[in-house]
Amino acid sequence: MDILGLFDLPRWAATIVFFLLTVCLYTWYKQSYFKRMGIKQRKTLFFLGDMVDIVKKGIGYLDLQDYKKYGKTFGTYTGNRPTLVISDPEIIKQITVKQFDKFTNRSQMINLPEFWKSAVSLAEGHTWRNIRHTLSPTFTSGKMRHMGPYLQRCLDVFHEVLDKKIQECPEGFDIDSAVRGYTMDVICSTGFGTEVSAQTDPDNPFNKHAKAALTFNPVSPTFLFLVFFPDIAGAFPKLFPTNFVPKDSLDFFIDASKSFIAERKNSSSKHRDLLQLMVNAQIGEDEKTPNETRTQGLTDTEIIANSIVFMLAGFDTTASTIAWMLYELAMNPDAQEKLINSIDQEIGESKLSYDNVFNMRYMDMVMSETLRVHPIVQRINRDASEDIEINGLKIKKGMDCTYCPSILHFAEEYWDEPNKFDPERFSPENKDRINEYAYMPFGLGPRNCIGMRLAQLEVKMTIISLLQKYRIHKTDQLQVCTLCIVL
């Protein structure tokens, strides 16, 4: 092929050159989006965006560094997909609370298969409102009061598991895997009234499949296509569906949920858990009216999708929080001693209950500070449903608006000595000084964490019960690894 009379290229080579030029132009155009909007943007690798830096440095570290460099608002790209990172509490308040009707949905980087759109964490618009409205009563303080005995049963087994480990390895052991088995038992027991023995069986399929489901593969071809060519993938969602849970793990959880539901329908005992609430709200798939008018009721698919989401969301988050709190108590013996003293004074040998656990002020301070320095979810996002301007910031329809606990929990503007673990920040005298839109371990506004109360009860009850019997020490083999959760 003759190119402008300058040189001759074989047709196949010309096609490749043309394709590469088009990809470069497309990338250049996509990755200059924020520049065109007059917003500072992170320096990223051409085509790859910030993907390499995220893998190398960790998303939390990267976001905090760029906040220091670029200020409260900057843009970044995952591949060619833009994300607007917002760290101004006033704008975050508008997005999460005041103008929530324009930011109801989470922005999805992947093309969700239909099944997942029935899960509360991933559902959109009216479907989300209906599901959230139906499920919320599970987590009222009244319902939580009934969870104590279920939790206590799991805790008794947890103590047995720990006693055995202490006997086998008196010089120290990795507590992380024991905690994960324990939190899986807790969510299956409190949510579904089912004992799955995840703590006592090291090869338990619930743990194995939950781990597989939560391990995201960033180099899967469909995901890469989605981030590099978001416009093409977005225009043909059925051609590029992303199953973020491997098929065998998804099948396992679908079968487990179906058997929980069938068992419950045949049971004559009275239950007040999440599963019962969903079963009571069940409607037939054919009764599913258009989303706009439905305000109650869950179809079979919705019950199954939500059962799976609760198992996954309720297990890793609480396990990580317990593990981080044990770490901080080992690293801060004064805080551990103070917590032990307040447990002795306020609870002593009494049975643990929702009321005595939630009334423990110092426990609450330690948990709040642990989640400040170790926010489990590092990025939280909302999708703009229309063009909008907030405090001078122009946001385009469809923009992924992200706010980051990993930035705001460490910003010197809002916290003195942010790297120091100091539960006193959350004391009744100091608490009023905290900017409520600069602290968000459970997210903010109507779409915050639905399981927050259960998580608080579980984590506090576990730590109190452990400190009633054990002391936590750091060993020479201590290994700390961080995980990254983005919602």
Q: Which residues contact 456 (CB under 8 A, 6 or more apart)?
A: 358, 367
Give me the least distance between CB of 379 and ligand HEM, in Å please.
Answer: 9
Give me the least distance between CB of 2 and ligand HEM, in Å please.
Answer: 57
Sign, CA dihedral 317-320-326-327, equals negative
- Position 454 contacts ligand HEM (CB under 6 A): yes
Ramachandran class of 43: left when φ > 0, alpha when ψ lies in -120 to 50, beta otherwise: beta
Q: Which residues contact 185 (CB under 8 A, 6 or more apart)?
A: 154, 157, 195, 196, 197, 198, 199
- Position 442 contacts ligand HEM (CB under 6 A): yes
**Piece of the chain touching ligand HEM by CB under 6 A; list 264-272, 278-286, 354-362, 441-449:** 441-449
- Position 250 contacts ligand HEM (CB under 6 A): no
Burial per residue of 34-54, b for 16 or more beta-carbon CB atoms within 10 angstroms, e otherwise: beebebebbebeebbbbbebb
* 367 vs 467, beta carbon nearer ligand HEM: 367
Select the residue interacting with ligand HEM from 310, 327, 354, 358 (CB under 6 A).
Answer: 310
Give me the least distance between CB of 273 and ligand HEM, in Å please.
Answer: 11
| Residue 142, token pair as written in the block | 């009244």
| Number of residues in contact with ligand HEM under rule CB under 6 A | 25
* 75 vs 441, beta carbon nearer ligand HEM: 441
Q: How buried is residue 165: exposed, middle or buried, by Cβ count under 10 Å (0-12/13-18/19+)?
A: middle
Site residues for ligand HEM, window 62-121 (CB under 6 A)? 120-121
Select the residue interacting with ligand HEM from 318, 336, 406, 462 (CB under 6 A).
Answer: 318
Stretch 119-138: interaction string toward ligand HEM, x if CB under 6 A: -xx----------x------
Rounded to whole angstroms, the Cα distance separating 484 from 450 reads: 20
Select the residue interacting with ligand HEM from 376, 407, 466, 467 (CB under 6 A).
Answer: 376
Ramachandran class of 57: left when φ > 0, alpha when ψ lies in -120 to 50, beta otherwise: alpha
Site residues for ligand HEM, window 277-296 (CB under 6 A)? none
- Position 377 contacts ligand HEM (CB under 6 A): yes
Stretch 455-474: interaction string toward ligand HEM, x if CB under 6 A: x-------------------
* Pairing relationship of beta strands 377-383 and 485-486 according to DSSP bridges: parallel
* 120 vs 213, beta carbon nearer ligand HEM: 120
Instruction: Give the amino acid at 30.
Output: K
Give me the least distance between CB of 88 and ligand HEM, in Å please.
Answer: 17
* 79 vs 441, beta carbon nearer ligand HEM: 441
Give me the least distance between CB of 380 and ligand HEM, in Å please.
Answer: 5
* Pairing relationship of beta strands 400-403 and 2-3 according to DSSP bridges: unpaired
- Position 441 contacts ligand HEM (CB under 6 A): yes
Contact 475, 172 (CB under 8 A): yes
Contact 239, 222 (CB under 8 A): no
Select the residue interacting with ligand HEM from 342, 451, 461, 464 (CB under 6 A).
Answer: 451
Give me the least distance between CB of 4 and ligand HEM, in Å please.
Answer: 53
- Position 309 contacts ligand HEM (CB under 6 A): yes
Rounded to whole angstroms, the Cα distance separating 338 from 369 reads: 15
* 82 vs 451, beta carbon nearer ligand HEM: 451
Nearest to 456 by CA among 385, 380, 400, 376: 376
* 75 vs 314, beta carbon nearer ligand HEM: 314
Query: Which residue number is nearest to ligand HEM in terms of Cβ?
Result: 443
SS3 content of the chain, % helix, strand, coil (to 5): 55, 10, 35
* 209 vs 374, beta carbon nearer ligand HEM: 374
How many CA atoms, within 13 angstroms, populate the side-chain half-sphere of residue 95?
35
| Residue 321, token pair as written in the block | 């929080």
**Piece of the chain touching ligand HEM by CB under 6 A; list 194-202, 212-220, 348-356, 374-382:** 374-382
- Position 193 contacts ligand HEM (CB under 6 A): no
DSSP bridge pairs for 415: none
- List contacts with ligand HEM (CB under 6 A): 120-121, 132, 309-310, 313-314, 317-318, 321, 376-377, 380, 441-444, 447-451, 454-455, 487
